């Protein structure tokens, strides 16, 4: 059920601006640890704070503590009217990705999914012009995010029927690929839905209370994509659309999806959405060659995650840490 997300607004790090990521179980812990390492590898000035829920187990806490990663407890958010996400259980966790709006002890929070890998420094997001808390969610720049891709390239039958390439904001940029590296399509483009994987937030209890009020309403039964749906519903055309490079969904890279705009060298933050995750690969699955036409086999971009993880594991081994994460 919806509840207050931040009863103790105290900083857990000595910084007014932070990266955050939600963690509810150890299934994503390897991803979180490599995400944190990747932020350090690109020279970010800002720390990562792990937002954990009650379900996060002791071995997960031990892994974070062993590496000195800051953490903060947040309640598990669910709407009053819960949609059935049995086809995509990951969306049950996604409501809790709205809690950074309540972290008023910080001036700026950039929420990242734990299945992301930072490839280039993107500290500029900490200074991106957005509405201040005094706007109380009524301004034109409430938060920033990249668009969701609504192409449904895997043809999932439970996705909305209007999730087709013609309605995708990224499709509207195919004729200007160079501009797509620098600017996002307008927030009104396509189905006008942000992707919740990266959210640039100015914390505000007024904004967060708007979110809580929405979570208490009946509309949530119609929100197919949890946090993404609620943000697009509450703040239509009142968010800053970032270029894809800050939330480079791995599917955009696929042939026939948005490879027209994709440039490996421009990507700042890779998002390994959908399953399987890179860390779930077995030695056998690594040998299955990617088929660009059928979109089956091992995704070529997964090697980027493995490169960063091998570096992390090597460093940790030198410190005597081989806990398997």
User: What is the pLDDT at residue 212?
Assistant: 86
Please say if the pLDDT value at position 228 is more than 90. Answer: no
Task: For residue 313, give both structure tokens.
Answer: 């594991």
Gap between the terminal Cα atoms of the chain: 31
Identify the pLDDT of residue 126: 98
Cα separation, 155 vs 14, in Å, equals 45
Looking at residue 91, what is its pLDDT?
56
% the chain with pLDDT above 70: 92
**Lowest mean per-residue pLDDT among 33-37, 53-57, 80-84, 208-212:** 80-84
DSSP state of 186: P
Enter the pTM of the model: 0.94
Question: Average of pLDDT values for 222-243?
Answer: 86
* Cα–Cα nearest to 72, from 19, 117, 127: 19
Please compute the mean of the pLDDT values over residues 174-179 and round it to a whole number: 98
Task: Report which of 147, 53, 141 is spatially closest to residue 92, judged by C-alpha positions.
Answer: 53
**How confident is the model over 185-224, as pLDDT tens digits?**
999 999 999 999 999 999 999 999 998 888 877 676 677 6
Mean pLDDT within 61-65 = 98
pLDDT for position 92: 55
The Cα-based distances of 199 to 36, 156, 172, 245 in angstroms read 17, 25, 22, 13
Distance CA(117)–CA(97), nearest Å, equals: 18
Report pLDDT digits (tens) over 11-27: 999 999 999 999 999 99
Rounded Cα distance, 73 and 77, in Å: 12
CATH class, 17-312 region = alpha beta
Q: Are 94 and 197 in contact (CB under 8 A)?
A: no
224 burial type by CB count under 10 A (0-12 exposed, 13-18 middle, 19+ buried)? middle
pLDDT of 182 over the 90 cut: yes
Cβ atoms of 262 and 231 closer than 8 Å: no
Per-residue pLDDT averaged across 148-174, rounded? Answer: 95
Q: Tell me how crowded residue 75 is: count the other CB atoms within 10 A of its CB.
A: 17
* Separation of alpha carbons 30 and 65, rounded Å: 14
What pLDDT is recorded for position 2? Answer: 45
| 37-46 average pLDDT score | 98
The DSSP secondary-structure symbol of 295 reads T
**Which residues, in sequence order, are CB contacts of 129 under 8 Å at separation 6+?**
141
Residue 5 has pLDDT above 80, yes or no: no
For the chain, domain boundaries: 17-312
């Amino acid at each position: 059920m919806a509840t207050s997300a931040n009863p103790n607004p105290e900083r857990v790090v000595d910084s007014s601006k932070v990266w955050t990521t939600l963690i509810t179980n150890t299934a994503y812990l390897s991803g979180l640890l490599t995400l944190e390492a990747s932020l350090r590898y690109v020279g970010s000035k800002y720390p990562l704070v792990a937002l954990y829920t009650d379900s996060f187990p002791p071995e997960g806490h031990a892994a974070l503590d062993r590496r000195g990663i800051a953490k903060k407890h947040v309640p598990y958010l669910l709407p009053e009217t819960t949609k059935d996400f049995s086809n995509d259980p990951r969306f049950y966790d996604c409501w809790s990705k709205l809690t950074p709006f309540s972290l008023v002890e910080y001036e700026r929070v950039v929420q990242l999914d734990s299945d992301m890998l930072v490839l280039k420094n993107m500290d500029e997001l900490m200074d991106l012009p957005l509405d201040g808390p005094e706007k109380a969610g009524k301004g034109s720049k409430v938060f920033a995010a990249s668009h969701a891709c609504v192409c449904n390239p895997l043809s999932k039958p439970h996705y909305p029927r209007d999730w087709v390439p013609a309605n995708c904001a990224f499709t509207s940029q195919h004729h200007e690929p160079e501009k797509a590296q620098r600017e996002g399509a307008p927030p009104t483009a396509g189905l006008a839905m942000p992707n919740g994987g990266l959210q640039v937030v100015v914390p505000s209890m007024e904004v967060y209370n708007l979110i809580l009020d929405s979570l208490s309403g009946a509309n949530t039964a119609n929100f197919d994509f949890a946090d993404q749906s609620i943000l697009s519903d509450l703040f239509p055309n009142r968010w800053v659309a970032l270029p894809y490079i800050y939330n480079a969904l791995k599917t955009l890279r696929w042939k026939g999806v948005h490879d027209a705009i994709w440039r490996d060298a421009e990507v700042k933050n890779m998002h390994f959405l959908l399953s399987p995750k890179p860390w779930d690969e077995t030695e056998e699955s690594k040998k299955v060659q990617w088929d660009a036409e059928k979109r089956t086999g091992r995704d070529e971009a997964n090697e980027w995650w493995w490169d960063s993880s091998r570096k992390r594991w090597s460093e940790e081994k030198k410190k005597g840490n081989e806990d398997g994460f």
